[in-house]
Amino acid sequence: MKNKVALVTGAATGIGRETAIAFAKKGANVVIADINKKQLAETEKLLNEEEVEILSVKADISNEEDIRNMVEKTVQKFGRLDFACNNAGIGGESATTGEYSTEGWDKVLNINLRGQFICMKYEIEAMLDNGSGSIVNISSILGHVGFTEAPAYVASKHGLLGLTKTAAIEYASQGIRVNAVCPGFIETPMLEDAGITTDEETKQHIISLHPAGRLGKPREVADAIVWLASDEASFVTGHPLLVDGGYVAR
Ligand code: NAD
C-alpha cells in the first residue's frame, strides 16, 4: 500500500484506531478523522511510530460540511484517495421499539446511516478522479440479525448493508469496490459505554452468544478491513464480511 492513501473515520478509539495502525503497517499514508480531538491525538502519536505520512482531521460525520472538508483536505495533501473505512458510529439508547425515543432514533440514524452515506458520496467523487478505490463500511452482526432494545442501531446497520450493495453494483465497472465488515461484539470503549464489559454477568452472557467463547479484538476486525480494502480482495465487492466468532452462524 506504499504511496497509497487510506482514510479512516472514527479513528480516535477502538476499531478505527486499530484500522488506522493496520493501514500504516502496510505502508499506506493515513488520514484519521473523528469528533474526539483528544483521543485522535493519541492515535496520531501511535501512528508516528510508523514511517508514513499522517493527516489528522476533526470531523463530525453528522455534519456534511465537515465531511466535505475531510475529503477535500485529504486530496489537497495527498492528491488522491485510495481506501476509505467508514467506521464512525454510536450505539444509542437502549429501549424496546415501542419505548424508543424519536430523538434517539434520529441521532443514531443521522450518524450511523446518513453520515456514512454522505462520507461515501464525497469519497466516491475523489475515487472516480483516481479511476480506482476501495470502500469498507463498518456494519455489524446486527446488520444481519435483530437484537432486543436496539431498534435504531439494528436498522442503521441493516440499512448500511443495503447502501453498500447498491454502491458496489453502481461503481464496479468504474474500478471502485464497496464492501462491509460486520463485527461481532468487540472489546472497545463502545462496549464499556454500553455497560457490557463493565458488568461481569452481562459480559459472560454476551460471550456465550459467540461460539468462539470470547469477545473479539479490534485488531482482528482491522485485519479484515485492510484485507477487503487491498488488492488481495480485487474480485470482492458488495460483500458483508462477518468477523464474529460464529455469532450469526449459530
Ligand atoms: P468506539 O466507541 O470505540 O469508536 C467509535 C468512534 O467513532 C469514536 O472514536 C467516536 O468518537 C467516533 N464517533 C462517534 N460519533 C462520531 C461522529 N458523529 N463523527 C465522527 N466520529 C464519531 O466504538 P467501536 O466499537 O470501535 O466502533 C466502531 C464501529 O464498529 C462502529 O460503527 C460500531 O457500530 C461498529 N461495531 C462495533 C462493535 C463492537 O462490539 N464494538 C460491533 C459491531 C460493530
Q: What would the pLDDT profile of 58-73 be if each residue is shown by its tens digit?
A: 999 999 999 999 999 9
* Gap from CA of 117 to ligand 1 centroid (Å): 16
Residues of the chain with pLDDT under 50: none
- Determine contact, residues 181/225, Cβ cutoff 8 Å: yes
Mutation choice for ligand 1 from 17, 137, 181, 188, CB with most ligand atoms inside 8 A: 188
| Interatomic CA distance for residues 33 and 104, integer angstroms | 24
Supply 87's cell numbers. Answer: 467506521
C-beta of 133 in contact with ligand 1 (< 6 A): no
pLDDT on residue 72: 98
State yes or no: is 153 an active-site residue.
yes
Q: Which atom of ligand 1 is nearest to the CA of 187?
A: 41
Grid coordinates 454502491 are at which residue? 167
Q: Which atom of ligand 1 is nearest to the CA of 221?
A: 30
For the chain, helix (H) and strand (E) counts, in that order, are: 9, 7
Supply 250's cell numbers. Answer: 449459530
- Determine contact, residues 90/144, Cβ cutoff 8 Å: no
- Determine contact, residues 97/147, Cβ cutoff 8 Å: no
Supply 72's cell numbers. Answer: 477535500
- Determine contact, residues 71/4, Cβ cutoff 8 Å: no
| Interatomic CA distance for residues 39 and 52, integer angstroms | 20
pLDDT on residue 228: 98
Q: Which domains does the chain have, with CATH numbers?
A: 5-244 (3.40.50.720)
Burial class (CB in 10 A: 0-12, 13-18, 19+), 195: exposed
C-beta of 10 in contact with ligand 1 (< 6 A): yes
* Gap from CA of 115 to ligand 1 centroid (Å): 12
Q: Which atom of ligand 1 is nearest to the CA of 215?
A: 40
Mutation choice for ligand 1 from 7, 15, 46, CB with most ligand atoms inside 8 A: 15
pLDDT on residue 26: 97
Q: Across the strands, what pairs with 134? A: 83, 177
| Angle value at C-alpha 106, between 102 and 110, nearest 5 degrees | 175
Atom 12 in ligand 1: residue holding the nearest Cα: 10
